């Protein structure tokens, strides 16, 4: 099967500089080969570093040879080239368990959240031919093969149809969907065998969640449906802006939506204090509506999912691949937990924590109390009346330190269910963004309006 000839392709945007490209290995064999190269590179690096240390008269430990910057960089580079499931493993492990990782590995894996290379033009046209069929290019007046953005699952291109629609087209990397389960298992196994993951860390729940998330995110029809659903849910909220889905051009591997122009949310770091406060207030208000009203949460805290329209002052919401429905029970349990923290009712918090799955009746009392202490600490913005100044807060560091101390206690090792972990991650992502923007937000007032009003009462 061949793609369209160069003369048949729609015009490109000549103003955009070509981005560095790298073909995505799409076959199972080529992906396994890439992982094999990584293993070989690690082994070779160990031998070279070992010889160097012995020549200096040192007797290095195996762990010291494994965790050299060069070996860690080899792992991160190969995961970035594989994209898809391989990158997601690195992202999840670094985000959920970064406190327990060697610092060098945590730092390098953290880069995978934004370190994706674009597909070359030939692969892009191949995906479009497979999804839109022969002659797809005839529908377009312009199609830019230089992506606006590239991430772990796919990349986004701007295009204009001949009927005048200005689109952002998200194109999935070939082979990602078919390789999800094997990629996750192979990468995790390699990280474990290489010693780059601590033996004490039980990553099985994270791996299950990585597979579940990836299968969801690789279904662009599902994402398009959630994009449309959020548009309906926020029809009463003009401060938010969402692109509209174009169902006629959306398939399992291609998502077509309106192109919306905005600046990255982090660009507001230089905006007026009032504007920064307003944007973060909108984000916290939205999350509360998602959990307690919609029971539908976009769980990915990546800053790239938000932009800002400086002309209309609207908050632009992007990327609904990680959207997750929540059962009424989980929503109500989190309501009890937050209300308990806000009223300093540890007994109510304890009931909620057991219902959610943070601990159970067999958990030692000292561990239960430690979990409640961490919960109170993590919900500090909800408990402080008159607004919370994130710009002067060290809350993430304090919560991380307390969580690490509990996590390293071998007598307590209980991961909560994925729904709870994802909400934790979403709250943590908003905290980090608010700290980045040095925003002041009255989270307490927002929560009271939702949790204590008659309309939202149990």
The answer to whether the CB of 179 falls within 8 A of the CB of 153 is no
Cα 100 → chain centroid: 19
d(CA 404, CA 401): 5
Active site residue 300: yes
End-to-end CA distance of the chain: 59
DSSP of 203-242, one letter per residue?
-HHHHHHHHHHHHHHT-HHHHHHHHHHHHHHTTT-TTEE-
At how many degrees (to 10) do helices 204-217 and 180-194 cross?
A: 150
- Give me the residue label for tokens 């040192």: 58
Identify the active-site residue in 202, 258, 270, 300: 300
The answer to whether the CB of 98 falls within 8 A of the CB of 111 is no
Q: 421 is written with which tokens?
A: 């972990």
DSSP of 124-177, one letter per residue?
HHHHHHHHH-TTGGGGEEEE--S-SEE-SSEEEEEEEETTS-EEEEEEEPTTTG
The H-or-E segment that residue 263 falls in is strand 263-264
Q: Is 254 left (phi over 0), alpha (psi -120 to 50) or beta?
A: beta
d(CA 432, CA 437): 9
User: Which one, of 426, 443, 333, 304, lies nearest residue 385 by Cα?
Assistant: 443
**Residues noted as catalytic:** 300
């Amino acid at each position: 099967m061949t793609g369209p000839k160069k003369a048949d392709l729609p015009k490109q945007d000549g103003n955009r500089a070509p981005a560095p490209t790298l073909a995505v290995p799409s076959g199972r064999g080529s992906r396994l080969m890439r992982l094999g190269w990584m293993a070989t590179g690690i082994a070779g690096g160990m031998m070279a570093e070992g010889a160097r240390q012995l020549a200096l008269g040192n007797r290095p430990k195996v762990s010291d040879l494994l965790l050299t910057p060069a070996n860690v960089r080899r792992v991160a580079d190969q995961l970035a080239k594989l994209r898809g499931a391989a990158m997601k493993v690195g992202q999840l492990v670094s985000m959920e368990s970064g406190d327990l990782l060697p610092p060098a590995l945590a730092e390098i894996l953290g880069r995978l959240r934004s370190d994706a290379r674009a597909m070359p033009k030939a692969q892009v046209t191949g995906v479009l031919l497979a999804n839109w069929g022969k002659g797809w290019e005839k529908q377009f007046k312009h199609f830019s093969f230089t992506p606006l953005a590239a991430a772990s699952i796919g990349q986004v291109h701007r295009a204009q149809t001949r009927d005048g629609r200005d689109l952002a087209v998200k194109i999935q990397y070939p082979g990602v969907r078919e390789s999800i389960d094997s990629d996750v298992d192979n990468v995790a196994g390699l990280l474990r065998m290489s010693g780059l993951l601590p033996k004490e860390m039980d990553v099985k729940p994270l791996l299950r969640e990585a597979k579940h998330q990836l299968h969801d995110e690789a279904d662009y029809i599902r994402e398009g449906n959630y994009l449309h659903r959020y548009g309906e849910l926020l029809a009463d909220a003009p401060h938010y802006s969402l692109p509209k889905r174009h169902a006629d051009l959306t398939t399992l591997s291609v998502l077509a939506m309106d192109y919306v122009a905005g600046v990255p949310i982090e660009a507001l770091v230089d905006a007026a204090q009032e504007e920064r406060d307003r944007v973060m207030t909108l984000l916290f208000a939205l999350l509360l509506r998602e959990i307690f009203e919609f029971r539908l949460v976009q769980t990915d805290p990546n800053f790239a999912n938000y932009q800002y329209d400086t002309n209309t002052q609207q908050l632009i919401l992007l990327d609904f691949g990680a959207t997750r429905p929540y059962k009424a029970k989980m929503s109500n349990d989190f309501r009890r937990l937050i209300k308990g923290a806000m009223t300093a009712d540890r007994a109510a918090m304890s009931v909620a924590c057991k219902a959610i799955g943070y601990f159970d009746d067999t958990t030692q009392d000292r561990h239960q109390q430690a979990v409640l202490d961490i919960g109170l600490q993590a919900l500090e913005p909800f408990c402080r009346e008159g607004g919370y100044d994130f710009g002067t807060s060290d809350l993430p560091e304090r919560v991380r330190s307390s969580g690490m101390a509990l996590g390293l206690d071998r007598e307590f090792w209980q991961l909560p269910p994925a729904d709870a972990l994802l909400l934790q991650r979403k709250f943590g992502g908003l905290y980090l963004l608010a700290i980045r923007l040095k925003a002041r937000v009255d989270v307490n007032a927002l929560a009271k309006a939702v949790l204590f009003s008659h309309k939202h009462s149990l």
